A and B are shown apart, each in its own frame.
Chain A
Protein backbone atom coordinates (compact mmCIF):
# COMPACT_ATOMS: atom_id res chain seq x y z
CA UNK A 1 0.00 0.00 0.00
CA UNK A 2 1.47 3.38 -1.00
CA UNK A 3 0.88 6.10 1.60
CA UNK A 4 1.46 9.83 1.22
CA UNK A 5 2.21 11.53 4.54
CA UNK A 6 2.33 15.30 5.10
CA UNK A 7 5.65 16.09 6.71
CA UNK A 8 8.03 18.79 7.84
CA UNK A 9 11.06 17.02 6.34
CA UNK A 10 12.01 14.46 3.67
CA UNK A 11 12.60 11.39 5.86
CA UNK A 12 10.68 8.80 7.85
CA UNK A 13 11.88 10.31 11.13
CA UNK A 14 10.92 13.86 10.07
CA UNK A 15 8.12 15.46 12.09
CA UNK A 16 4.61 14.65 10.87
CA UNK A 17 3.02 17.94 9.67
CA UNK A 18 -0.72 18.16 10.31
CA UNK A 19 -1.35 20.71 7.54
CA UNK A 20 -1.96 19.15 4.12
CA UNK A 21 -1.87 22.15 1.75
CA UNK A 22 0.90 24.01 3.53
CA UNK A 23 3.18 21.28 4.84
CA UNK A 24 6.83 21.31 3.74
CA UNK A 25 7.23 17.82 2.29
CA UNK A 26 5.16 14.85 1.21
CA UNK A 27 6.76 11.51 2.08
CA UNK A 28 5.55 8.54 0.01
CA UNK A 29 5.92 5.32 2.00
CA UNK A 30 5.34 1.82 0.63
CA UNK A 31 4.10 -0.31 3.53
CA UNK A 32 4.96 -3.57 1.68
CA UNK A 33 8.57 -2.82 0.79
CA UNK A 34 9.34 -0.23 3.49
CA UNK A 35 10.79 2.02 0.77
CA UNK A 36 10.06 5.73 0.69
CA UNK A 37 10.72 8.90 -1.27
CA UNK A 38 9.80 12.52 -0.67
CA UNK A 39 8.86 15.62 -2.65
CA UNK A 40 8.98 19.20 -1.50
CA UNK A 41 5.59 20.94 -1.34
CA UNK A 42 6.21 23.99 -3.53
CA UNK A 43 4.24 26.75 -1.87
CA UNK A 44 4.40 29.53 -4.40
CA UNK A 45 0.70 30.24 -4.41
CA UNK A 46 -1.08 32.69 -2.16
CA UNK A 47 -4.34 31.00 -3.06
CA UNK A 48 -4.97 27.44 -4.10
CA UNK A 49 -2.12 25.82 -2.15
CA UNK A 50 -4.31 22.81 -1.42
CA UNK A 51 -5.25 22.36 -5.08
CA UNK A 52 -1.62 22.49 -6.16
CA UNK A 53 -0.53 20.13 -3.40
CA UNK A 54 -3.25 17.60 -4.25
CA UNK A 55 -2.22 17.68 -7.90
CA UNK A 56 1.47 17.18 -7.03
CA UNK A 57 0.63 14.33 -4.67
CA UNK A 58 -1.63 12.62 -7.21
CA UNK A 59 1.21 12.55 -9.75
CA UNK A 60 2.92 9.98 -7.48
CA UNK A 61 -0.24 7.85 -7.34
CA UNK A 62 -0.56 7.11 -3.64
CA UNK A 63 -3.60 5.12 -2.54
CA UNK A 64 -3.94 6.91 0.77
CA UNK A 65 -3.07 10.34 2.16
CA UNK A 66 -2.31 10.73 5.88
CA UNK A 67 -2.57 14.22 7.31
CA UNK A 68 -4.00 16.19 10.21
CA UNK A 69 -6.20 18.76 8.49
CA UNK A 70 -7.33 19.14 4.92
CA UNK A 71 -9.15 22.03 3.27
CA UNK A 72 -12.11 21.83 0.89
CA UNK A 73 -10.14 22.44 -2.31
CA UNK A 74 -7.57 19.72 -1.70
CA UNK A 75 -10.20 17.31 -0.41
CA UNK A 76 -12.33 17.66 -3.55
CA UNK A 77 -9.28 17.15 -5.78
CA UNK A 78 -8.12 14.03 -3.92
CA UNK A 79 -11.65 12.66 -4.00
CA UNK A 80 -11.77 13.12 -7.76
CA UNK A 81 -8.42 11.31 -8.00
CA UNK A 82 -9.78 8.43 -5.95
CA UNK A 83 -7.24 8.95 -3.15
CA UNK A 84 -8.58 8.15 0.33
CA UNK A 85 -7.76 10.65 3.06
CA UNK A 86 -7.11 9.54 6.65
CA UNK A 87 -6.62 12.05 9.44
CA UNK A 88 -4.95 11.78 12.80
CA UNK A 89 -1.94 12.90 14.76
CA UNK A 90 1.55 11.48 15.13
CA UNK A 91 5.08 12.48 16.10
CA UNK A 92 7.04 11.44 13.03
CA UNK A 93 6.22 10.29 9.51
CA UNK A 94 6.96 6.67 10.50
CA UNK A 95 4.73 7.04 13.60
CA UNK A 96 1.90 8.19 11.32
CA UNK A 97 2.31 5.15 9.07
CA UNK A 98 2.32 2.83 12.11
CA UNK A 99 -0.65 4.59 13.69
CA UNK A 100 -2.60 4.25 10.42
CA UNK A 101 -1.76 0.53 10.24
CA UNK A 102 -3.01 0.14 13.81
CA UNK A 103 -6.30 1.79 12.86
CA UNK A 104 -5.56 5.02 14.76
CA UNK A 105 -6.24 7.34 11.81
CA UNK A 106 -9.83 8.14 10.80
CA UNK A 107 -11.05 8.15 7.23
CA UNK A 108 -12.23 11.64 6.26
CA UNK A 109 -15.50 11.95 4.40
CA UNK A 110 -15.42 15.75 4.42
CA UNK A 111 -12.78 18.50 4.65
CA UNK A 112 -11.80 19.46 8.19
CA UNK A 113 -11.33 23.16 7.62
CA UNK A 114 -12.83 25.92 5.55
CA UNK A 115 -9.50 26.51 3.82
CA UNK A 116 -6.67 28.98 4.55
CA UNK A 117 -6.18 27.38 7.99
CA UNK A 118 -2.63 26.42 7.11
CA UNK A 119 -1.70 30.07 6.77
CA UNK A 120 -2.20 30.68 10.46
CA UNK A 121 0.84 28.86 11.57
Chain B
Protein backbone atom coordinates (compact mmCIF):
# COMPACT_ATOMS: atom_id res chain seq x y z
CA UNK B 1 0.00 0.00 0.00
CA UNK B 2 1.13 3.52 -0.72
CA UNK B 3 0.97 6.30 1.87
CA UNK B 4 2.27 9.46 0.23
CA UNK B 5 3.49 12.41 2.26
CA UNK B 6 3.10 15.60 0.22
CA UNK B 7 2.94 19.28 1.00
CA UNK B 8 2.51 21.81 -1.74
CA UNK B 9 4.86 24.22 -0.02
CA UNK B 10 8.52 23.30 0.34
CA UNK B 11 10.12 23.40 3.76
CA UNK B 12 7.04 22.37 5.74
CA UNK B 13 8.79 19.35 7.25
CA UNK B 14 7.38 16.78 4.87
CA UNK B 15 10.51 14.65 4.72
CA UNK B 16 11.01 14.92 8.48
CA UNK B 17 7.48 13.75 9.19
CA UNK B 18 7.60 10.99 6.54
CA UNK B 19 10.87 9.67 7.98
CA UNK B 20 9.57 9.95 11.55
CA UNK B 21 6.41 8.10 10.58
CA UNK B 22 8.49 5.32 9.03
CA UNK B 23 10.58 5.04 12.17
CA UNK B 24 7.70 4.90 14.63
CA UNK B 25 5.79 2.36 12.52
CA UNK B 26 8.77 0.10 11.74
CA UNK B 27 8.54 -1.93 14.97
CA UNK B 28 4.91 -2.88 14.27
CA UNK B 29 4.59 -2.92 10.47
CA UNK B 30 6.58 -4.11 7.46
CA UNK B 31 7.67 -0.67 6.29
CA UNK B 32 9.40 0.41 3.08
CA UNK B 33 10.39 3.99 2.40
CA UNK B 34 10.56 5.56 -1.05
CA UNK B 35 12.19 8.95 -1.45
CA UNK B 36 10.45 10.32 -4.53
CA UNK B 37 11.61 13.89 -3.92
CA UNK B 38 14.03 13.15 -6.74
CA UNK B 39 15.49 16.63 -7.15
CA UNK B 40 16.68 16.71 -3.57
CA UNK B 41 16.37 13.21 -2.09
CA UNK B 42 17.61 13.59 1.47
CA UNK B 43 15.48 11.28 3.60
CA UNK B 44 18.46 8.94 3.91
CA UNK B 45 20.10 11.60 6.09
CA UNK B 46 17.43 10.77 8.67
CA UNK B 47 16.77 7.11 8.01
CA UNK B 48 20.36 6.04 7.35
CA UNK B 49 21.44 6.84 10.92
CA UNK B 50 18.09 5.68 12.34
CA UNK B 51 18.24 2.20 10.77
CA UNK B 52 21.84 1.79 9.62
CA UNK B 53 23.11 1.82 13.20
CA UNK B 54 20.98 -1.19 14.00
CA UNK B 55 22.90 -3.14 11.35
CA UNK B 56 26.45 -3.80 12.44
CA UNK B 57 28.92 -2.03 10.23
CA UNK B 58 26.31 -0.11 8.27
CA UNK B 59 27.01 3.35 9.62
CA UNK B 60 28.93 4.15 6.48
CA UNK B 61 26.24 3.77 3.89
CA UNK B 62 26.89 1.57 0.91
CA UNK B 63 23.83 0.84 -1.22
CA UNK B 64 22.72 -2.69 -1.98
CA UNK B 65 21.57 -1.89 -5.51
CA UNK B 66 21.98 0.98 -7.84
CA UNK B 67 20.10 1.04 -11.14
CA UNK B 68 20.10 3.62 -13.88
CA UNK B 69 16.69 4.67 -15.10
CA UNK B 70 16.32 5.47 -18.79
CA UNK B 71 13.41 6.53 -20.93
CA UNK B 72 12.84 5.41 -24.52
CA UNK B 73 13.65 7.97 -27.18
CA UNK B 74 13.86 7.65 -30.97
CA UNK B 75 17.04 7.81 -32.99
CA UNK B 76 16.78 8.51 -36.71
CA UNK B 77 18.19 6.04 -39.22
CA UNK B 78 19.16 8.44 -42.01
CA UNK B 79 19.44 5.62 -44.59
CA UNK B 80 15.72 4.85 -44.23
CA UNK B 81 14.34 8.30 -43.36
CA UNK B 82 12.72 10.20 -46.25
CA UNK B 83 12.07 13.31 -44.10
CA UNK B 84 8.35 12.95 -44.87
CA UNK B 85 7.55 14.83 -41.66
CA UNK B 86 4.90 12.42 -40.27
CA UNK B 87 6.85 12.05 -37.00
CA UNK B 88 7.19 15.84 -36.77
CA UNK B 89 3.42 16.25 -37.07
CA UNK B 90 2.81 13.55 -34.46
CA UNK B 91 5.18 15.11 -31.90
CA UNK B 92 3.39 17.44 -29.47
CA UNK B 93 6.65 18.62 -27.94
CA UNK B 94 8.61 19.89 -30.97
CA UNK B 95 11.28 17.30 -30.31
CA UNK B 96 11.51 16.45 -34.01
CA UNK B 97 11.98 18.72 -37.00
CA UNK B 98 12.28 17.91 -40.71
CA UNK B 99 14.68 20.41 -42.16
CA UNK B 100 17.20 20.43 -45.00
CA UNK B 101 16.09 16.94 -46.08
CA UNK B 102 16.82 15.43 -42.65
CA UNK B 103 14.90 14.78 -39.46
CA UNK B 104 16.61 16.19 -36.39
CA UNK B 105 15.78 14.88 -32.93
CA UNK B 106 16.08 16.96 -29.75
CA UNK B 107 16.35 14.47 -26.92
CA UNK B 108 15.79 16.94 -24.07
CA UNK B 109 12.42 18.04 -25.51
CA UNK B 110 11.15 14.45 -25.86
CA UNK B 111 8.47 13.16 -23.45
CA UNK B 112 8.90 9.52 -24.54
CA UNK B 113 5.28 9.24 -25.65
CA UNK B 114 6.20 6.92 -28.52
CA UNK B 115 3.90 8.54 -31.11
CA UNK B 116 6.75 9.00 -33.61
CA UNK B 117 7.51 5.26 -33.69
CA UNK B 118 3.87 4.52 -34.46
CA UNK B 119 3.50 6.89 -37.39
CA UNK B 120 6.85 6.42 -39.17
CA UNK B 121 6.01 4.66 -42.46
CA UNK B 122 9.64 3.79 -43.22
CA UNK B 123 10.66 2.14 -39.96
CA UNK B 124 13.37 4.76 -39.79
CA UNK B 125 13.05 5.46 -36.07
CA UNK B 126 15.10 3.14 -33.90
CA UNK B 127 14.36 2.80 -30.21
CA UNK B 128 17.19 4.16 -28.17
CA UNK B 129 17.44 5.28 -24.55
CA UNK B 130 18.25 8.34 -22.54
CA UNK B 131 19.30 8.08 -18.90
CA UNK B 132 17.38 10.42 -16.61
CA UNK B 133 18.46 9.34 -13.14
CA UNK B 134 19.42 6.62 -10.67
CA UNK B 135 17.39 4.46 -8.28
CA UNK B 136 19.34 3.40 -5.18
CA UNK B 137 18.16 0.73 -2.76
CA UNK B 138 19.35 0.04 0.78
CA UNK B 139 18.27 -3.07 2.64
CA UNK B 140 18.48 -2.50 6.35
CA UNK B 141 17.73 -5.34 8.75
CA UNK B 142 14.08 -4.41 9.23
CA UNK B 143 13.58 -1.85 6.55
CA UNK B 144 13.80 -1.24 2.80
CA UNK B 145 14.87 2.20 1.68
CA UNK B 146 14.75 3.28 -1.95
CA UNK B 147 15.54 6.68 -3.40
CA UNK B 148 15.32 8.22 -6.85
CA UNK B 149 17.82 10.85 -7.89
CA UNK B 150 17.26 12.78 -11.09
CA UNK B 151 20.30 13.72 -13.18
CA UNK B 152 21.39 17.36 -13.02
CA UNK B 153 19.71 19.39 -15.75
CA UNK B 154 17.04 16.76 -16.51
CA UNK B 155 13.71 18.58 -16.81
CA UNK B 156 11.21 15.72 -16.67
CA UNK B 157 11.20 13.78 -13.42
CA UNK B 158 7.82 12.04 -13.76
CA UNK B 159 9.11 8.76 -15.29
CA UNK B 160 11.56 8.33 -12.40
CA UNK B 161 8.87 9.10 -9.79
CA UNK B 162 6.40 6.73 -11.49
CA UNK B 163 9.07 4.00 -11.41
CA UNK B 164 9.44 4.47 -7.64
CA UNK B 165 5.65 4.46 -7.21
CA UNK B 166 5.45 1.13 -9.08
CA UNK B 167 8.07 -0.37 -6.77
CA UNK B 168 6.08 0.88 -3.76
CA UNK B 169 2.96 -1.14 -4.60
CA UNK B 170 2.24 -4.47 -2.88
CA UNK B 171 1.77 -5.89 0.60
CA UNK B 172 4.27 -3.83 2.57
CA UNK B 173 3.38 -0.43 3.93
CA UNK B 174 5.23 1.97 1.64
CA UNK B 175 5.76 5.52 2.80
CA UNK B 176 6.51 7.77 -0.16
CA UNK B 177 8.10 11.19 0.25
CA UNK B 178 6.65 13.33 -2.55
CA UNK B 179 8.35 16.29 -4.20
CA UNK B 180 6.94 19.66 -3.08
CA UNK B 181 4.74 21.76 -5.36
CA UNK B 182 1.62 20.72 -7.28
CA UNK B 183 3.12 20.21 -10.74
CA UNK B 184 3.73 17.01 -12.74
CA UNK B 185 6.31 15.67 -10.28
CA UNK B 186 3.96 15.86 -7.31
CA UNK B 187 1.08 14.39 -9.31
CA UNK B 188 3.28 11.49 -10.41
CA UNK B 189 4.01 10.79 -6.74
CA UNK B 190 0.44 11.00 -5.43
CA UNK B 191 -1.69 9.62 -8.25
CA UNK B 192 -1.51 5.96 -7.14
CA UNK B 193 -1.65 6.77 -3.43
CA UNK B 194 -3.98 4.81 -1.16
CA UNK B 195 -3.78 7.75 1.23
CA UNK B 196 -2.05 11.14 1.25
CA UNK B 197 -0.79 13.07 4.23
CA UNK B 198 -0.48 16.76 3.44
CA UNK B 199 2.03 18.48 5.67
CA UNK B 200 1.47 22.20 6.06
CA UNK B 201 2.99 24.81 8.28
CA UNK B 202 0.85 27.14 10.36
CA UNK B 203 1.51 30.31 8.34
CA UNK B 204 -0.27 32.23 5.54
CA UNK B 205 2.32 30.75 3.16
CA UNK B 206 1.60 27.26 4.36
CA UNK B 207 -2.14 27.78 3.96
CA UNK B 208 -1.76 29.25 0.46
CA UNK B 209 0.07 26.18 -0.81
CA UNK B 210 -2.05 23.78 1.23
CA UNK B 211 -5.11 25.01 -0.66
CA UNK B 212 -3.39 24.13 -3.94
CA UNK B 213 -2.43 20.69 -2.65
CA UNK B 214 -6.01 20.07 -1.45
CA UNK B 215 -7.23 20.94 -4.94
CA UNK B 216 -4.99 18.15 -6.29
CA UNK B 217 -6.51 15.72 -3.77
CA UNK B 218 -10.03 16.65 -4.87
CA UNK B 219 -9.24 16.46 -8.57
CA UNK B 220 -7.72 12.98 -8.18
CA UNK B 221 -10.35 11.87 -5.61
CA UNK B 222 -7.67 10.79 -3.15
CA UNK B 223 -8.35 10.14 0.54
CA UNK B 224 -6.17 12.48 2.58
CA UNK B 225 -5.60 14.24 5.88
CA UNK B 226 -3.46 17.12 7.12
CA UNK B 227 -0.64 17.45 9.61
CA UNK B 228 -0.02 21.03 10.75
CA UNK B 229 3.66 21.43 11.47
CA UNK B 230 5.42 24.28 13.29
CA UNK B 231 2.12 24.98 15.01
CA UNK B 232 1.80 27.80 17.53
CA UNK B 233 -1.29 29.56 18.82
CA UNK B 234 -2.42 32.86 17.33
CA UNK B 235 -2.88 32.10 13.66
CA UNK B 236 -6.06 30.13 13.10
CA UNK B 237 -6.75 30.42 9.35
CA UNK B 238 -5.26 27.00 8.41
CA UNK B 239 -7.38 25.23 11.04
CA UNK B 240 -10.47 27.14 9.94
CA UNK B 241 -9.83 26.09 6.34
CA UNK B 242 -9.33 22.46 7.35
CA UNK B 243 -12.54 22.53 9.39
CA UNK B 244 -14.55 24.21 6.64
CA UNK B 245 -13.42 21.61 4.11
CA UNK B 246 -14.10 18.76 6.52
CA UNK B 247 -10.53 17.50 6.24
CA UNK B 248 -9.24 15.29 9.07
CA UNK B 249 -6.49 17.03 11.05
CA UNK B 250 -4.17 14.21 12.11
CA UNK B 251 -1.75 16.11 14.25
CA UNK B 252 -0.44 19.49 15.31
CA UNK B 253 3.32 19.49 15.77
CA UNK B 254 4.53 22.35 17.96
CA UNK B 255 6.87 25.09 16.77
CA UNK B 256 9.75 24.11 19.01
CA UNK B 257 13.43 25.02 19.16
CA UNK B 258 14.20 21.65 20.70
CA UNK B 259 12.56 19.85 17.76
CA UNK B 260 14.55 22.00 15.31
CA UNK B 261 17.68 21.04 17.25
CA UNK B 262 16.89 17.34 16.88
CA UNK B 263 16.26 17.85 13.16
CA UNK B 264 19.64 19.50 12.72
CA UNK B 265 21.28 16.45 14.30
CA UNK B 266 19.43 14.04 11.97
CA UNK B 267 17.28 12.83 14.87
CA UNK B 268 13.57 12.13 14.37
CA UNK B 269 10.35 12.96 16.24
CA UNK B 270 10.60 9.81 18.41
CA UNK B 271 13.48 11.53 20.26
CA UNK B 272 11.23 14.50 21.13
CA UNK B 273 8.72 13.08 23.57
CA UNK B 274 6.49 10.08 24.09
CA UNK B 275 3.24 11.95 23.65
CA UNK B 276 4.03 13.25 20.16
CA UNK B 277 5.59 9.94 19.14
CA UNK B 278 2.48 8.13 20.32
CA UNK B 279 0.16 10.45 18.42
CA UNK B 280 2.16 10.09 15.21
CA UNK B 281 2.18 6.31 15.54
CA UNK B 282 -1.53 6.25 16.26
CA UNK B 283 -2.24 8.43 13.21
CA UNK B 284 -0.18 6.09 11.03
CA UNK B 285 -1.90 2.96 12.40
CA UNK B 286 -5.30 4.53 11.78
CA UNK B 287 -4.44 5.28 8.15
CA UNK B 288 -3.12 1.75 7.60
CA UNK B 289 -6.26 0.25 9.14
CA UNK B 290 -8.45 2.46 6.96
CA UNK B 291 -6.63 1.36 3.80
CA UNK B 292 -6.81 -2.34 4.77
CA UNK B 293 -10.54 -2.01 5.39
CA UNK B 294 -11.04 -0.81 1.83
CA UNK B 295 -8.81 -3.46 0.22
Contact = CB atoms under 8 A, between A and B. Distances in A.
A93 B213 CA distance: 47
Interface in A14-52: 45, 47-49, 51-52
A51 B100 contact: no
B109 interface: yes
5 contacts: A47-B93, A48-B106, A55-B98, A73-B106, A76-B104
B84 to A, nearest CB: 14
A49 B109 CA distance: 11
A48 B95 CA distance: 7
Interface in B92-132: 93-95, 97-100, 102, 104, 106, 109
A118 B204 CA distance: 33
Contact of B99 (A45, A47, A80): A80
Contact of B94 (A45, A80, A82): A45
B93 A54 contact: no
A58 interface: yes
Contacts of A58: 99-100
B153 to A, nearest CB: 10
Nearest to B155: A47
Interface residues of A, number: 16
A55 B100 contact: no
B99 A77 contact: yes
Nearest to A49: B94
Contacts of B102: 80
Contacts of B99: 54-55, 58, 77-78, 80-81
Which of under 10, 10 to 19, 20 to 34, or 35 or more describes the interface residues of B?
Answer: 10 to 19
A52 B100 contact: no
A47 B104 contact: no
Contacts of B93: 45, 47-48
A79 to B, nearest CB: 8
B122 to A, nearest CB: 19
A77 B109 CA distance: 14
Given A45-B94, A51-B97, A77-B99, 10 more contacts: A47-B94, A47-B109, A51-B94, A51-B95, A52-B94, A54-B97, A55-B99, A77-B97, A80-B100, A81-B100
Interface of B: 88, 93-95, 97-100, 102, 104, 106, 109
Report the 10 A-B pairs with minimum CB-CB distance, sorted nearest first: A48-B94, A81-B100, A80-B100, A81-B99, A51-B94, A48-B109, A55-B97, A51-B97, A77-B99, A52-B94
A82 B101 CA distance: 10
A47 B98 CA distance: 17
Q: Which of B88, B98, B99, B100 has the most CB of A within 10 A?
A: B99
Contact of A80 (B95, B104, B109): B104
Contacts of B109: 47-48, 51, 73
Q: Pick from B88, B93, B100 the residue with the most CB of A within 10 Å.
A: B100
Nearest to B94: A48
A77 B97 CA distance: 7
Contacts of B97: 51-52, 54-55, 77
A42 to B, nearest CB: 11
B95 A82 contact: no
Interface in A66-89: 73, 76-78, 80-82
A83 to B, nearest CB: 8
A76 B93 CA distance: 17
A31 B88 CA distance: 32
B86 to A, nearest CB: 14
A76 to B, nearest CB: 6
Contacts of A54: 97, 99
B157 to A, nearest CB: 15
B130 to A, nearest CB: 15
